[in-house]
Amino acid sequence: MARFTGKVVLVTGGTSGIGKAAALAFAREGARVVVSGRREPEGLAVVEEVKKAGGEAHFVRADVTKEAEVKNLVAQAVARYGRLDVAFNNAGVEWTGPITEVTEADYRKVFDANVWGVLAAMKYEIPELLRAGGGAVVNTSSIAGHVGMANVSVYIAAKHAVEGLTKTAALEYAKQGVRVNAVAPAAIVTDMIDRFVGGEDSDGGRGLAAMHPVGRMGRPEEVAAAVLYLASDEAKFTTGVSLPVDGGWLAQ
C-alpha cells in the first residue's frame, strides 16, 4: 500500500517549486492533498495535474502572513476531507543584500512569511493533528537555518527561527503523537533560485552550483522525497530534527 493512503496532507506554498513537487509526490503515494498558496490559477493547475494522474487534491487560497487566512485554510482542509494527518509548511520568500541596506519592510516581509507563516500554521494545524490521533509536521528551513552566509542576513535569521520553532513544537507535542521536523535544502532549482541568481545557466547559477560538494544544485523532487520520509511512519522515532538535503553543503 502507498505510504499515505487514507491520509490528508496540507501543503503551503504548494503552487510552485518544492511545495508543488511535494504535493504531487504525496498525491502519488495515496494522500488527499490540500494545495495552498496565494496564486489561484497556479494552485488549480497543480490540482489538475494531481487529478490527471489519478490522485485527489483541492486548492485553498491563503496568504500565510494573515492569521485569519491560515485559520480558514486549516478549517477548509478539515471541512473538505474530514481530518488532517500531515502539514508541510513550506511557503517562504527570499532576501539578499548587505546588512547596511536592510529596511524594516524587508525584515517584516521575510519574517511575516517565513517565521510567522510557519508559527501561525502550526497553531491551527496541531489541534487538528491531535484530533486525528497524531500526525506529522514538516517545516521548510534551509541550510540558511544552519549556517551564516554573507549578504543574506534577514533570510538567515528567519530560517534560524524556523529551526527553533521546529524544535520547540517537537518538544511540546512529543508525548501526544505529533512529530515536528524540518527539511534544510541547499540551492534547489526553483523560481526562487531564478530570482536569487538569475537561473541555473547564468554565471551566478553556475557559481552557486559549484559551491555544493556534489557540483550541482538540487531538484524540487529531491527535497520532496525527504519531506515524504519525515512525514511517513518510517520516521516515527524522528522528531525535532532538520534534515539537510544539500549535496554535502553542511559537511564542508
Catalytic residues: 155
Positions 71 through 90 that interact with ligand NAD (CB under 6 A):
90
Residues 6 or more apart in contact with residue 9 via CB below 8 angstroms: 23, 26, 31, 32, 33, 34, 85, 86, 87, 88, 231
Q: Write out the three cell numbers for 157.
A: 535569521
Binding mask 124-163 for ligand NAD (x = CB under 6 A): ----------------x-x---------------------
Distance between CA 36 and CA 40 in Å, rounded? 9
Instruction: Return the residue of 44, 45, 192, 211 that touches ligand NAD, per CB under 6 A.
Output: 192
**Residue 132 vs 181, nearer CB to ligand NAD:** 181
Asked if 15 is part of the footprint of ligand NAD (rule: CB under 6 A), the reply reads: yes
**243 forms part of the interface with ligand NAD (CB under 6 A):** no
Residue from 40, 48, 172, 191 touching ligand NAD (CB under 6 A): that is 191
Determine contact, residues 178/187, Cβ cutoff 8 Å.
Answer: no
CB of 13 to ligand NAD, least distance (A): 3
Instruction: Supply φ then ψ for residue 166, to 5 degrees.
Output: -65, -45
Q: Does 92 bind ligand NAD (CB under 6 A)?
A: yes
Task: Name which of 43 and 132 has its Cβ closer to ligand NAD.
Answer: 43
Q: Is 224 a residue that touches ligand NAD (CB under 6 A)?
A: no
Residue 236 burial by CB count (10 A; 0-12/13-18/19+): exposed, middle or buried? exposed
What residues from 104 to 123 belong to the interface with ligand NAD (CB under 6 A)?
A: 113, 117
Q: What does the alpha-carbon distance between residue 16 and residue 42 come to, in Å, rounded to a whole number?
A: 8
Give the integer Cα–Cα distance in Å for 114 and 112: 6
HSE of 227 in the Cβ direction (CA atoms, 13 Å)?
32
Would you count residue 187 as binding ligand NAD (CB under 6 A)? yes
**Residue 60, interface with ligand NAD (CB under 6 A)?**
no
